[in-house]
Amino acid sequence: MKITNQIVESHGLKTQEYENIKKLLKRDPNLLELGIFSAMWNEHCSYKSSRIHLKKLPTKGKQVIQGPGENAGVIDIGDDDAIVFKIESHNHPSYIEPYQGAATGVGGILRDVFTMGARPIALLNSIHFGAPEHPKTKSLLNGVVSGIGGYGNCIGIPTVAGETKFDATYNENILVNAMAVGHVKKDKIFYSKAKGLNKSVVYVGSKTGRDGIHGASMASAEFDENSEEKKPTVQVGDPFTEKLLMEACLELMKDNSIISIQDMGAAGLTSSSVEMASKGSLGIELELDKVPCREENMTPYEMMLSESQERMLIILEDGKEKYAKKIFDKWDLDFVVIGKTTNTQNLTLKFNNKVEGEIPIDALASKAPLYNREWIKKKPQKNKIDLKKLKKIKIDDALIKILSSPNHSNKSWVTSQYDQAVMGDTAQKSGSDAAIIRIHNKDKAIAISVDSSANYCKSNPVSGGKQIVCENWRNLIAVGAKPIAITNCLNFGNPENKEIMGEFTECLAGIKEACEFLSYPVVSGNVSFYNGTNKKNIFPTPVIGGVGLIKKLSKPLNHNFKKNNSALILIGKTFGHLEQSCFLRENYSITEGMPPEVNLLNEKNNGETLLKLIDKNFILSSHDISSGGLITALAEMSIGSNFGAKIFKPKKLTNLHEYFFGEDQARYIIEVDSNCLNKAEKILKENNIFYENIGITQEEFFEIEKELKISTNDLFKINNEWYNNY
Active-site residues, by number, are 44, 90
Q: Count the alpha carbons within 13 Å of 586 in the hemisphere toward its beta carbon.
A: 24
The string of DSSP codes covering 8-61 is HHHTT--HHHHHHHHHHHTS---HHHHHHHHHHHSHHHH-TTTHHHHTTS----
- Distance CA(699)–CA(101), nearest Å, equals 46
Angle between helices 461-478 and 498-518 (to 10 degrees): 40
Our CA dihedral for 515, 520, 523, 524, rounded to 10 degrees, sits at: -60
Of 19, 15, 13, the residue nearest 35 (C-alpha)? 13
Q: Which residues of 546-556 are buried (b: 16+ CB within 10 A; e: fewer)?
A: bbbbbeebeeb
| Ranges assigned E (strand) in 391-458 | 426-428, 435-438, 445-452
Q: Return left, alpha or beta for 156; rule: phi > 0 is left, psi -120 to 50 is alpha, else beta.
A: left
- Distance CA(42)–CA(48), nearest Å, equals 8
- Distance CA(719)–CA(698), nearest Å, equals 19
Q: Assess contact for 310 and 264: CB atoms under 8 A.
A: no
Between the alpha carbon of residue 63 and those of residues 67, 521, 523, the distances in Å are 10, 10, 11
Residue type, 449: S
Between the alpha carbon of residue 454 and those of residues 50, 458, 467, 542, 580, the distances in Å are 19, 6, 11, 7, 11
